[in-house]
Amino acid sequence: MEEFNMKLAHLHHCRGVSWKMILYILKKDPQLKSLYNTTFYHSGSPMFNNQVSLSDALRDLHSEQIHEQIRQYSPNGIRMITIFDDDYPALLKETYQPPWIIYAKGDVSLLKIEPHLAVVGSRQATEYGEKVIEFLFPKLIESGLIIVSGLAAGIDAIAHREAIKNGGKTIGVIAGGLFHIYPQANQKLAYEMMKNHLVISEYPPNTRPSRWQFPMRNRIISGISRGTLIIQAKSKSGSLITANYAVQEGRDVFAVPGNIFSAYSAGTNELIQHGAKLVKTAEDILAEFNY
Protein backbone atom coordinates (compact mmCIF):
# COMPACT_ATOMS: atom_id res chain seq x y z
CA MET A 1 0.00 0.00 0.00
CA GLU A 2 2.91 2.34 0.75
CA GLU A 3 4.20 1.98 -2.81
CA PHE A 4 0.74 2.69 -4.23
CA ASN A 5 0.35 5.79 -2.02
CA MET A 6 3.71 7.13 -3.19
CA LYS A 7 2.71 6.60 -6.82
CA LEU A 8 -0.65 8.32 -6.29
CA ALA A 9 1.10 11.21 -4.55
CA HIS A 10 3.57 11.54 -7.42
CA LEU A 11 0.69 11.63 -9.93
CA HIS A 12 -1.04 14.21 -7.73
CA HIS A 13 2.02 16.48 -7.92
CA CYS A 14 2.13 16.52 -11.73
CA ARG A 15 1.28 19.73 -13.55
CA GLY A 16 -2.04 19.72 -15.37
CA VAL A 17 -3.30 16.48 -13.81
CA SER A 18 -6.87 17.13 -12.70
CA TRP A 19 -9.17 15.20 -10.36
CA LYS A 20 -10.95 13.66 -13.36
CA MET A 21 -7.66 12.64 -15.00
CA ILE A 22 -6.63 10.77 -11.86
CA LEU A 23 -10.03 9.03 -11.83
CA TYR A 24 -9.58 8.02 -15.48
CA ILE A 25 -6.07 6.69 -14.86
CA LEU A 26 -7.20 4.71 -11.79
CA LYS A 27 -10.04 3.16 -13.77
CA LYS A 28 -7.60 2.02 -16.47
CA ASP A 29 -4.86 1.02 -14.03
CA PRO A 30 -6.24 0.57 -10.46
CA GLN A 31 -2.85 -0.40 -9.01
CA LEU A 32 -0.94 2.28 -10.97
CA LYS A 33 1.41 -0.41 -12.25
CA SER A 34 1.86 1.43 -15.55
CA LEU A 35 2.30 4.88 -14.01
CA TYR A 36 5.86 5.29 -15.26
CA ASN A 37 5.29 3.54 -18.58
CA THR A 38 5.27 6.28 -21.24
CA THR A 39 3.36 4.16 -23.78
CA PHE A 40 0.41 4.01 -21.33
CA TYR A 41 -0.20 7.72 -21.97
CA HIS A 42 0.02 7.47 -25.74
CA SER A 43 -2.82 4.96 -26.09
CA GLY A 44 -5.21 7.45 -27.67
CA SER A 45 -7.03 8.12 -24.41
CA PRO A 46 -8.62 11.49 -23.59
CA MET A 47 -6.46 11.88 -20.50
CA PHE A 48 -4.76 15.06 -21.67
CA ASN A 49 -6.18 17.91 -23.71
CA ASN A 50 -3.03 18.57 -25.72
CA GLN A 51 0.56 17.51 -26.27
CA VAL A 52 1.96 20.28 -24.07
CA SER A 53 0.02 19.17 -20.98
CA LEU A 54 0.99 15.55 -21.66
CA SER A 55 4.68 16.50 -21.99
CA ASP A 56 4.55 18.48 -18.72
CA ALA A 57 2.95 15.57 -16.86
CA LEU A 58 5.45 13.03 -18.21
CA ARG A 59 8.34 15.31 -17.31
CA ASP A 60 7.02 15.59 -13.74
CA LEU A 61 6.41 11.84 -13.53
CA HIS A 62 10.09 11.27 -14.22
CA SER A 63 11.29 14.07 -11.96
CA GLU A 64 13.60 12.92 -9.19
CA GLN A 65 13.09 16.32 -7.57
CA ILE A 66 9.40 15.56 -6.98
CA HIS A 67 10.29 12.11 -5.62
CA GLU A 68 12.68 13.70 -3.13
CA GLN A 69 10.12 16.39 -2.25
CA ILE A 70 7.55 13.71 -1.34
CA ARG A 71 10.13 11.74 0.66
CA GLN A 72 10.79 14.82 2.80
CA TYR A 73 7.17 15.21 3.94
CA SER A 74 7.34 12.55 6.65
CA PRO A 75 10.55 13.91 8.27
CA ASN A 76 8.80 17.31 8.34
CA GLY A 77 5.76 15.90 10.14
CA ILE A 78 3.45 15.94 7.11
CA ARG A 79 1.13 12.98 6.59
CA MET A 80 -0.31 12.08 3.21
CA ILE A 81 -3.72 10.49 3.69
CA THR A 82 -5.21 9.03 0.51
CA ILE A 83 -8.88 8.34 -0.07
CA PHE A 84 -8.05 4.62 0.23
CA ASP A 85 -6.58 4.94 3.77
CA ASP A 86 -8.42 4.15 7.01
CA ASP A 87 -7.55 7.61 8.39
CA TYR A 88 -9.46 9.35 5.59
CA PRO A 89 -12.65 11.00 6.96
CA ALA A 90 -15.67 8.83 6.16
CA LEU A 91 -18.01 11.81 5.74
CA LEU A 92 -15.67 13.41 3.21
CA LYS A 93 -15.85 10.31 1.00
CA GLU A 94 -19.57 10.98 0.58
CA THR A 95 -19.00 14.39 -1.03
CA TYR A 96 -18.68 15.44 -4.66
CA GLN A 97 -15.13 14.94 -5.94
CA PRO A 98 -13.51 14.24 -2.57
CA PRO A 99 -9.76 14.97 -2.52
CA TRP A 100 -7.61 12.06 -3.65
CA ILE A 101 -5.06 13.03 -1.01
CA ILE A 102 -5.18 15.11 2.17
CA TYR A 103 -1.88 16.62 3.29
CA ALA A 104 -2.01 16.93 7.06
CA LYS A 105 0.18 18.33 9.79
CA GLY A 106 -0.74 17.87 13.42
CA ASP A 107 -2.99 15.42 15.24
CA VAL A 108 -4.57 13.38 12.42
CA SER A 109 -6.70 11.45 14.94
CA LEU A 110 -8.93 14.55 14.99
CA LEU A 111 -10.21 13.54 11.54
CA LYS A 112 -11.82 10.43 13.05
CA ILE A 113 -13.18 11.95 16.27
CA GLU A 114 -16.86 12.87 15.96
CA PRO A 115 -18.66 15.13 15.66
CA HIS A 116 -17.16 18.01 13.69
CA LEU A 117 -18.87 21.39 13.44
CA ALA A 118 -17.83 23.77 10.66
CA VAL A 119 -17.86 27.42 11.76
CA VAL A 120 -17.42 30.08 9.08
CA GLY A 121 -18.28 33.70 8.49
CA SER A 122 -17.18 37.12 7.36
CA ARG A 123 -13.52 38.09 7.06
CA GLN A 124 -14.57 41.50 8.39
CA ALA A 125 -16.04 40.17 11.62
CA THR A 126 -17.65 42.72 13.93
CA GLU A 127 -17.79 42.77 17.72
CA TYR A 128 -21.19 41.07 17.46
CA GLY A 129 -19.73 38.07 15.62
CA GLU A 130 -16.92 37.71 18.14
CA LYS A 131 -19.34 37.89 21.07
CA VAL A 132 -21.55 35.21 19.49
CA ILE A 133 -18.58 32.84 19.31
CA GLU A 134 -17.54 33.62 22.88
CA PHE A 135 -21.11 32.89 24.00
CA LEU A 136 -21.67 29.66 22.05
CA PHE A 137 -18.30 27.93 22.22
CA PRO A 138 -17.90 26.98 25.91
CA LYS A 139 -20.93 24.67 25.77
CA LEU A 140 -20.07 23.34 22.29
CA ILE A 141 -16.51 22.53 23.34
CA GLU A 142 -17.66 21.02 26.62
CA SER A 143 -19.91 18.71 24.59
CA GLY A 144 -16.91 17.44 22.61
CA LEU A 145 -17.43 19.09 19.24
CA ILE A 146 -14.35 19.50 17.04
CA ILE A 147 -14.37 22.98 15.44
CA VAL A 148 -13.53 23.10 11.72
CA SER A 149 -12.83 26.32 9.86
CA GLY A 150 -10.71 27.82 7.08
CA LEU A 151 -7.94 29.70 8.94
CA ALA A 152 -9.06 32.87 7.15
CA ALA A 153 -9.20 36.32 8.73
CA GLY A 154 -12.26 37.26 10.76
CA ILE A 155 -14.74 34.64 11.99
CA ASP A 156 -12.52 31.69 10.97
CA ALA A 157 -9.54 32.80 13.04
CA ILE A 158 -11.76 33.78 15.98
CA ALA A 159 -13.39 30.34 15.89
CA HIS A 160 -10.02 28.53 15.94
CA ARG A 161 -8.68 30.71 18.76
CA GLU A 162 -11.82 30.43 20.86
CA ALA A 163 -11.83 26.64 20.48
CA ILE A 164 -8.24 26.54 21.75
CA LYS A 165 -8.99 29.01 24.53
CA ASN A 166 -11.83 26.78 25.78
CA GLY A 167 -9.62 23.68 25.80
CA GLY A 168 -11.17 22.18 22.68
CA LYS A 169 -9.72 20.85 19.44
CA THR A 170 -9.82 22.48 16.04
CA ILE A 171 -9.04 21.69 12.40
CA GLY A 172 -7.96 24.27 9.82
CA VAL A 173 -8.61 23.62 6.12
CA ILE A 174 -6.49 25.86 3.93
CA ALA A 175 -6.23 26.85 0.29
CA GLY A 176 -2.74 26.34 -1.11
CA GLY A 177 -0.18 24.08 0.53
CA LEU A 178 1.03 23.69 4.11
CA PHE A 179 4.24 25.60 3.34
CA HIS A 180 2.29 28.70 2.25
CA ILE A 181 -0.09 29.81 5.00
CA TYR A 182 -2.42 32.64 4.01
CA PRO A 183 -3.10 35.21 5.31
CA GLN A 184 0.29 35.94 6.84
CA ALA A 185 -1.39 37.37 9.95
CA ASN A 186 -2.62 33.85 10.83
CA GLN A 187 0.73 32.07 10.43
CA LYS A 188 1.41 31.95 14.18
CA LEU A 189 -2.06 30.51 14.79
CA ALA A 190 -1.54 27.94 12.02
CA TYR A 191 1.82 26.81 13.43
CA GLU A 192 0.26 26.40 16.88
CA MET A 193 -2.48 24.29 15.33
CA MET A 194 0.08 22.18 13.48
CA LYS A 195 1.64 21.33 16.86
CA ASN A 196 -1.43 20.69 19.01
CA HIS A 197 -4.41 20.50 16.64
CA LEU A 198 -4.53 19.93 12.87
CA VAL A 199 -4.11 21.79 9.58
CA ILE A 200 -5.00 20.08 6.30
CA SER A 201 -4.98 20.84 2.58
CA GLU A 202 -5.84 18.97 -0.61
CA TYR A 203 -2.88 20.61 -2.35
CA PRO A 204 0.79 19.53 -2.20
CA PRO A 205 2.67 21.51 0.48
CA ASN A 206 4.65 23.66 -1.96
CA THR A 207 1.49 24.92 -3.71
CA ARG A 208 0.98 28.68 -3.48
CA PRO A 209 -2.64 29.68 -2.80
CA SER A 210 -4.69 30.84 -5.78
CA ARG A 211 -8.02 32.65 -5.76
CA TRP A 212 -9.96 29.67 -7.19
CA GLN A 213 -8.75 27.36 -4.41
CA PHE A 214 -10.61 29.20 -1.65
CA PRO A 215 -14.16 28.31 -2.73
CA MET A 216 -12.96 24.76 -3.51
CA ARG A 217 -11.61 24.21 -0.01
CA ASN A 218 -15.03 25.16 1.39
CA ARG A 219 -16.38 21.80 0.22
CA ILE A 220 -13.85 20.11 2.51
CA ILE A 221 -14.76 22.31 5.50
CA SER A 222 -18.41 21.27 5.18
CA GLY A 223 -17.52 17.82 3.88
CA ILE A 224 -15.81 16.58 7.05
CA SER A 225 -18.48 18.16 9.30
CA ARG A 226 -21.87 16.98 10.54
CA GLY A 227 -23.13 20.54 10.37
CA THR A 228 -22.08 24.05 9.34
CA LEU A 229 -22.65 27.18 11.44
CA ILE A 230 -22.60 30.53 9.65
CA ILE A 231 -21.83 33.57 11.83
CA GLN A 232 -22.04 36.86 9.93
CA ALA A 233 -21.99 36.78 6.13
CA LYS A 234 -22.84 39.21 3.38
CA SER A 235 -25.35 38.26 0.68
CA LYS A 236 -22.61 37.16 -1.73
CA SER A 237 -20.12 35.56 0.60
CA GLY A 238 -17.74 32.61 0.52
CA SER A 239 -19.43 31.40 3.69
CA LEU A 240 -22.64 30.89 1.72
CA ILE A 241 -20.70 28.66 -0.68
CA THR A 242 -19.80 26.50 2.32
CA ALA A 243 -23.46 26.45 3.37
CA ASN A 244 -24.51 25.41 -0.14
CA TYR A 245 -22.03 22.53 -0.11
CA ALA A 246 -23.45 21.42 3.24
CA VAL A 247 -27.00 21.52 1.86
CA GLN A 248 -25.99 19.51 -1.22
CA GLU A 249 -24.45 16.83 1.00
CA GLY A 250 -27.52 16.67 3.25
CA ARG A 251 -25.75 18.12 6.28
CA ASP A 252 -27.22 20.46 8.91
CA VAL A 253 -26.94 24.20 8.28
CA PHE A 254 -27.15 26.61 11.21
CA ALA A 255 -27.17 30.40 11.07
CA VAL A 256 -26.98 33.15 13.66
CA PRO A 257 -29.52 35.93 13.01
CA GLY A 258 -28.35 39.52 12.97
CA ASN A 259 -29.28 43.16 12.64
CA ILE A 260 -31.49 43.64 9.55
CA PHE A 261 -29.67 46.91 8.87
CA SER A 262 -26.21 45.29 8.83
CA ALA A 263 -24.70 44.01 5.58
CA TYR A 264 -22.81 41.41 7.62
CA SER A 265 -26.08 39.78 8.68
CA ALA A 266 -27.76 39.81 5.28
CA GLY A 267 -26.39 36.41 4.27
CA THR A 268 -27.20 34.64 7.54
CA ASN A 269 -30.71 36.12 7.65
CA GLU A 270 -31.29 34.91 4.09
CA LEU A 271 -30.11 31.42 5.03
CA ILE A 272 -32.66 31.33 7.86
CA GLN A 273 -35.38 32.45 5.44
CA HIS A 274 -34.42 29.52 3.20
CA GLY A 275 -34.54 26.90 5.94
CA ALA A 276 -31.29 27.04 7.92
CA LYS A 277 -31.83 26.50 11.64
CA LEU A 278 -31.79 29.73 13.61
CA VAL A 279 -29.23 29.57 16.42
CA LYS A 280 -29.59 31.52 19.65
CA THR A 281 -27.86 29.10 22.03
CA ALA A 282 -25.43 26.20 21.84
CA GLU A 283 -28.33 23.87 22.66
CA ASP A 284 -29.92 24.75 19.30
CA ILE A 285 -26.97 23.00 17.63
CA LEU A 286 -26.47 20.21 20.15
CA ALA A 287 -30.14 19.22 19.94
CA GLU A 288 -29.71 18.42 16.23
CA PHE A 289 -26.46 16.54 16.77
CA ASN A 290 -27.89 14.48 19.64
CA TYR A 291 -30.98 13.69 17.58
User: Tens digit of pLDDT for each residue in 46-69?
Assistant: 566 666 666 777 788 888 899 899
Per-residue model confidence (pLDDT) at position 61: 84
User: Tens digit of pLDDT for each residue in 71-87?
Assistant: 999 999 999 999 999 99
- Calculate what percentage of the chain has a pLDDT beyond 70: 95
* Full strand arrangement of the beta sheet holding 277-278: 78-82, 101-106, 198-201, 170-173, 146-149, 116-121, 227-231, 252-255, 277-278
Specify the CATH architecture of the domain 108-290: 3-Layer(aba) Sandwich (3.40)
* Residue 13 scores a pLDDT above 80: yes
Cα–Cα distance, 53 to 36 (Å, whole number): 16
SS3 letters across 228-285 = EEEECCCCCCHHHHHHHHHHHCCCEEEECCCCCCCHHHHHHHHHHHCCCEECCCHHHH
The neighbour count for residue 54, using CB atoms within 10 Å, is 16
Write 239-243 long-range contacts (CB < 8 A, 24+): 239/120, 239/121, 239/122, 239/155, 239/267, 240/267, 240/271, 241/215, 242/118, 242/120, 242/218, 243/271, 243/276
Q: Which pTM does this prediction carry?
A: 0.94
> Which pLDDT band, with edges at 50, 70 and 90, does 261 fall under?
very high
Per-residue model confidence (pLDDT) at position 89: 95
Domain spans in the chain, listed from the N-terminal domain onward: 2-71, 108-290
Cα–Cα distance, 178 to 103 (Å, whole number): 8
Within its chain, how far is the Cα of 256 from the centroid? 22
Average pLDDT, the chain: 91
Per-residue model confidence (pLDDT) at position 273: 92
User: Tens digit of pLDDT for each residue in 166-222?
Assistant: 999 999 999 999 999 999 999 999 999 999 999 999 999 999 998 888 888 999 999
209 vs 161, which has greater pLDDT? 161
Cα–Cα distance, 233 to 268 (Å, whole number): 6
Q: What is the mean pLDDT of residues 272-289?
A: 95
Per-residue model confidence (pLDDT) at position 36: 86
User: Tens digit of pLDDT for each residue in 110-128?
Assistant: 999 999 999 999 999 999 9
Contact partners, residue 115, CB within 8 Å, separation at least 6: 144, 145, 146, 225, 226, 227, 289
Per-residue model confidence (pLDDT) at position 60: 86
